[in-house]
């Protein structure tokens, strides 16, 4: 192979490697968007979405929330509203003179199913029987 052919092949390899790296990577375990159900009682589209809250134990512990993918603390701005308070389950926002509370809610699929009580019609467990006498000598 001559030098010109090698250079051409190398430039093609670099060109394809660069274009492959520019593609968006999708999570192969994520279900298709059409199958994802909105959470019942979730805020309307366009409203800030509370995704998680982290509260350090102890007095004066650090409090951080993730809203719309951004980490925020008390005093920060998010979607035009100021974070005014935070508990382990909710974040308080103030937009102008209006207050709103974003609460952590579990999707319906994450709520544990109620325990099924044991049925009274089930047969009681049999009592263990005595082992048979050893074979050989009659008693």
Domain coordinates in residue numbering, the chain: 43-101
Q: What is the pLDDT of residue 8?
A: 81
107 vs 6: which has the higher pLDDT = 6
pTM metric for this prediction: 0.46
DSSP sequence for 66-124:
EETTEEE-TT-EETTEEEEEE-SSEEEEEETTEEEEEE----GGGSPPPPPPPPTTSPP
pLDDT tens track for 25-36: 677 776 666 666
- Residue 66 makes CB contacts below 8 A (sequence gap 6+) with 50, 51, 52, 53, 72
Q: What is the pLDDT of residue 77?
A: 92
**Weakest mean pLDDT among 65-74, 84-93, 117-126:** 117-126
Burial group, residue 34, by CB count within 10 angstroms (0-12, 13-18, 19+): exposed
Q: What is the pLDDT of residue 17?
A: 61
């Amino acid at each position: 192979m001559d030098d010109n052919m090698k250079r051409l092949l190398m430039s093609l390899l670099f060109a394809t490697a660069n274009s492959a790296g520019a593609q968006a990577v999708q999570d192969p375990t994520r279900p298709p968007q059409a199958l994802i159900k909105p959470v019942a009682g979730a805020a309307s589209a366009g409203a800030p979405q509370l995704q998680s809250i982290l509260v350090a134990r102890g007095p004066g512990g650090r409090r951080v929330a993730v809203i719309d993918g951004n980490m925020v603390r008390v005093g920060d701005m998010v979607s035009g509203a100021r974070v005014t308070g935070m508990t382990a389950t909710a974040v308080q926002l103030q937009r102008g003179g209006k207050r709103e509370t974003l609460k952590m809610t579990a999707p319906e699929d994450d709520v544990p199913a109620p325990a099924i009580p044991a049925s009274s019609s089930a047969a009681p467990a049999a009592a263990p029987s005595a082992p048979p006498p050893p074979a050989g000598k009659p008693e």
